[in-house]
Structure 1
Amino acid sequence: MTSPLTWLRARLSASSQDISGFHYEPADRSSHFAEAAPGLTIGTFRDAPPWIVVDVSLATTIVASWPGRLWEVQVIKRASEQPVASAGYVRATAVRVVRELPSANLFGANGEAVASILAVASQLTLEQRDQLARLHSEASDDACSQVWNRWLAESDPTSAHCGEDHRNTLAIGAGKMRSPLGSAPTVLHSVLSRRATEIDGLAAFIEDDEDRYFAPMWSKAFASLLHACFAMGVDASLVSREQRSVLIAAYDGMTGTK
């Protein structure tokens, strides 16, 4: 199987018309992609930023904010200034839209289930937060950490992070798949941070020097939502039936998700 790095090196030596990949456009960003449709050409053709980022694969696509739209594109004009080959993306000044894909594809084969949890997180109430926090368990933290390590053993067995406690992990690695669910953990964190700010303001966070993190109740609620994403989204080879039940327990116990 061709690695993303090998693929990108080959593409960079090819003509622009041979380069294809994926572009994710956040819904809160104003750009030419607002009018995108299959067959259309989008871009300035000027060899200057802002560039159009074309990602090598869905697994390495960076999701700046959620929700958004996902496009398969073909590069028409490549920028002269390119990142290092291991970056996992190409800079373009113009692309042709091939087709739109479900944005949930960014989170793997079971991405729609993950996207449904993101939708709940974006509208979470304080009562639901309290329920998720109360139902959070150490057993689910352990199960989540085990999934991370099983995934690492398969995807990057030489990683220095193999065997660690990953209960608070959002991403591992660079230029490669960052989690068993792609960018889903970091997207969930962003979505819940926005919602926490909306309904709880500064009380939702603790600031320590330059760090900012969830206050205890929000932290536990986030963990319960992340565990639900793992339960519903990761490949069956990474989680046992018993672990899946533990991971989904808090989310299933929360009322008012309809």
Structure 2
Amino acid sequence: MAHFEEAAPGLTIGTFQDAPPWIVVDISLATIIVASWPGRLWEIQVVHRASEQPAADAGYVRATAVHVVRELSPAILFGANGEAVASILSVAAQLTLVQRDQLARLHSEAGDEAYSQVWNRWLVESDPTSDHCGDDHRNTLAVVSGKRRSPLGAAPTVLHSVLSRRATEVDGAAAFVEDGEERYFSPAWSKAFASLLHACFAMGAEASLVSKDQRSTLIAAYESLAGIE
């Protein structure tokens, strides 16, 4: 919403007019949809609710005016270790072709397997009745489990968006493979993406989800970028 471009703690923002466009206020961090990255995250209090509200289980309310309490680090959307995940997103946003090639070269099946195991461990903890428990999750970016979509919240899909933008900047159409209406990363970018995704899980996932050996496997390709520009 344009009004939030000038937002600051203590301000009241809105029209107070009971008509759209509404201010959409998420009830919890788990329901927030990250439309772009980087972005800003505000804790607010609803001053005036709209008369037209979504279903009770929607996870958000509509407001016509809100009071800005404080600004939060958007990295908290990725869990307790969100700052570490955000640092990987920053690298992805500036990735060079040389770095891409390094990540692709060191992508491993062992990393894919460890990544899948983290997903399954998380599903067993968060939703043991899920139909996706025990699946091969090496290409998984989101699984609905209660209000959460991954062990790192929106991080996998945000990384995909960030790297897609960067791939377009440095490699253009060659970064993707077109299949009808679908578009995928080309092999080199796909492997680089997987290596970055593995690093996010290594640095961001809760300790109960990743063994020490798995963490080392997941982070290996990313750590090899040290000194490479």
TM norm. shorter chain > 0.5: yes
Ranges in structure 2 where 5+ consecutive residues have no aligned partner: none
**Equivalent residue number for residue 191 of structure 2:** 220
Measured after TM superposition, the shift of residue 257 of structure 1 is 6.1
C-alpha distance after superposition, 1:208-228 (max 9, x if no partner): 112111111111100000100
Q: Is the 8 A contact 1:82 1:90 kept in 2?
A: yes
Is residue 162 from structure 1 mapped to residue 125 from structure 2 by the alignment?
A: no
Counterpart AA for 1:39: G
**Percent of aligned pairs with the same amino acid:** 79
Residue in structure 2 matching 1:240, options 198, 208, 211? 211
* Secondary structure at the counterpart of residue 87 of structure 1: coil
Q: Residues 126 and 238 from structure 1, CA distance in 2 versus in 1: closer, same or farther, beyond 3 angstroms?
A: same
Measured after TM superposition, the shift of residue 63 of structure 1 is 0.4
Q: Residues 174 and 236 from structure 1, CA distance in 2 versus in 1: closer, same or farther, beyond 3 angstroms?
A: closer
Q: Residues 212 and 81 from structure 1, CA distance in 2 versus in 1: closer, same or farther, beyond 3 angstroms?
A: farther
Q: Residues 213 and 49 from structure 1, CA distance in 2 versus in 1: closer, same or farther, beyond 3 angstroms?
A: farther
Is residue 83 from structure 1 mapped to residue 16 from structure 2 by the alignment?
A: no
C-alpha distance after superposition, 1:87-121 (max 9, x if no partner): 21112111111111111111111010000000000
Ranges in structure 1 where 5+ consecutive residues have no aligned partner: 1-29
**Equivalent residue number for residue 7 of structure 2:** 36
Runs (4 or more) in structure 1 with deviation over 3 Å come to 255-258
**For residues 38 and 194 of structure 2, what CA distance do their matches in structure 1 show?**
21
Is residue 58 from structure 1 mapped to residue 26 from structure 2 by the alignment?
A: no
* Secondary structure at the counterpart of residue 68 of structure 1: coil
**For residues 188 and 85 of structure 1, what CA distance do their matches in structure 2 show?**
31
Larger deviation, residues 83-92 vs 211-220 = 83-92
**Equivalent residue number for residue 38 of structure 2:** 67
**For residues 57 and 104 of structure 1, what CA distance do their matches in structure 2 show?**
15
Q: Is the 8 A contact 2:78 2:154 kept in 1?
A: yes
Query: How high is the TM-score relative to the length of structure 1?
Result: 0.85
Query: How high is the TM-score relative to the length of structure 2?
Result: 0.96
**Equivalent residue number for residue 206 of structure 1:** 177
Is residue 117 from structure 1 mapped to residue 88 from structure 2 by the alignment?
A: yes
**Equivalent residue number for residue 94 of structure 1:** 65
**Equivalent residue number for residue 15 of structure 1:** none
Counterpart AA for 1:242: D
Give 1:146-185 correspondences, 5 Å limit: 146-173=117-144, 176-185=147-156
* Secondary structure at the counterpart of residue 57 of structure 2: helix
Measured after TM superposition, the shift of residue 175 of structure 1 is 6.1
**Equivalent residue number for residue 141 of structure 1:** 112
**Equivalent residue number for residue 17 of structure 1:** none
Q: Is the 8 A contact 1:86 1:175 kept in 2?
A: no
C-alpha distance after superposition, 1:156-179 (max 9, x if no partner): 111111110111111111761110
**For residues 242 and 152 of structure 1, what CA distance do their matches in structure 2 show?**
20
**For residues 206 and 44 of structure 1, what CA distance do their matches in structure 2 show?**
45
Measured after TM superposition, the shift of residue 47 of structure 1 is 2.4
**For residues 225 and 170 of structure 2, what CA distance do their matches in structure 1 show?**
18
Is residue 104 from structure 1 mapped to residue 62 from structure 2 by the alignment?
A: no
**Equivalent residue number for residue 128 of structure 1:** 99
**For residues 48 and 210 of structure 1, what CA distance do their matches in structure 2 show?**
37
